Amino acid sequence: MRDEEKRMETRFRSSLIPPPSSLLPPPSSLAHMRPVSATIDLAALRHNLAVAKRHAPCAKAFAVIKANAYGHGLERALRAFDAADGIALLELDTAVRLRQAGERRRIALLEGFFDQREPAVFAEHRLTAVVHSREQLEMLEGLAAGSALDVVLKVNTGMNRLGFMPDEFPSALAALCAQPGVGEVGVMSHFANADDARGVDWQMAAFEPLVKGTDLSVSLANSAAILRYPQSHRDWIRPGIMLYGCSPFAESVGPEIGLKPAMTLEAQVIGVQNLKPGDGVGYGGIFTAGREMRIGVVACGYADGYPRHAPNGTPVVVDGRLTGTVGRVSMDMLCVDLTPVPQARIGSRAVLWGEGNPIERVAIASGTVGYELLCALAPRVPVVVRE
């Protein structure tokens, strides 16, 4: 390995090593000091991958583990996704670490490389690069002959994010195949409307002529397409949000389409207040009691990853009964209406999302999507792993 590559490799490795600290005790000794936690269910992750594979029995599956496995933890997800044929993510340093840890399956980096020095690192660690721009094609020119870097050429069929336009595809493919350092070549695109009424046919109509008559390996289907459009499954599927138990469709929640929630965020009621008509709750008093009522103060706030912008009535399940938030979410606490839960008291369990309280409903109430809530889980929240 050349000196420059060695320096880059050192940088990748060093970025994975946390700085030592003599000020804090080990995290395990702090795990239960505050009554909030996230349970990650590995059996649910395995189940959801199996659902994806059942829908596309003739395709291989990339388990998409970007964004720290959608907030579930990379190492945990890898344990659960051992039945996947490959994994897909974004960060080169993480991919290198996985190879060094013994991961042997295909690893695809969905945004490819960003620097002309990186293709050599991809090749050394047998990583698959998604190539989506002329600039990336130029970066491949310095790759040594025989490097056998596997590449997936991305086509922009209407998503208008990354990828070559259809009329650019033939010349991009020719340029790629002319590179002596390139190994296997595949092709992919990404659907913009697989989860809504417009569907995928309009994008597939732009894609199909490009690969007709070729033997290129094809990857098209995201979670929504896996579940709804079998004609898109082709050679490799790319399940993402469905692996984590969240429905890709606005009109349904995960359990309604056979998925199991893999993350449950819960906390305890740590205070109870009795309100009179006209009393306000929290910063700004955005909730005012219209009657006598009890509210519970729950040990979870936006510093834990709960959305600050969640409005009054965002669903919370307390002691198995559905209720809703009242007042503005603060850094470390939120408040809930205990009227439907007269037996609730300090120590009662509140499920913010997950089992019994689908994250999709919390997201809709908060004007966002389940993806964002999952990815926003804060590092300070203790995680309990359920096998």
Active-site residue among 70, 154, 229, 283?
A: 283
Residue 245's DSSP bridge partners are: none
Question: Catalytic residue at 244?
Answer: no
Contact by Cβ (8 Å): 312, 326: yes
In terms of C-beta distances under 8 Å and separation of at least 24 residues, what long-range contacts does 103-108 make, across chains too?
103/78, 106/62, 106/150, 108/62, 108/152
Contacts of 56 (CB under 8 A, 6+ apart): 221, 226, 230, 233, 237
* Residue type at 352 in one-letter notation: L
In contact, 191 and 200? CB cutoff 8 Å: yes
The residue type found at 71 is: G
Task: Render 325-370 in DSSP notation, one character per residue.
Answer: EES---SS-EEEE-TT-TT--TT-EEEEEBTTB-HHHHHHHTTS-H
Measure the CA dihedral 93/113/144/60, to 10°. Answer: 80
* Neighbour tally for 21: CB within 10 Å: 7
- Residue 66 a catalytic site member: yes
**Residue 290 contacts by C-beta under 8 Å, 6 or more apart in sequence?**
277
* List 53, 66, 154, 260, catalytic entry: 66
Task: Write out the H or E segment, with its range, that includes residue 109.
Answer: strand 106-109
DSSP type of residue 232: G
* CA nearest neighbour of 218 among 152, 160, 171: 152
Q: Are 69 and 49 in contact (CB under 8 A)?
A: no
Residues marked as catalytic: 66, 283
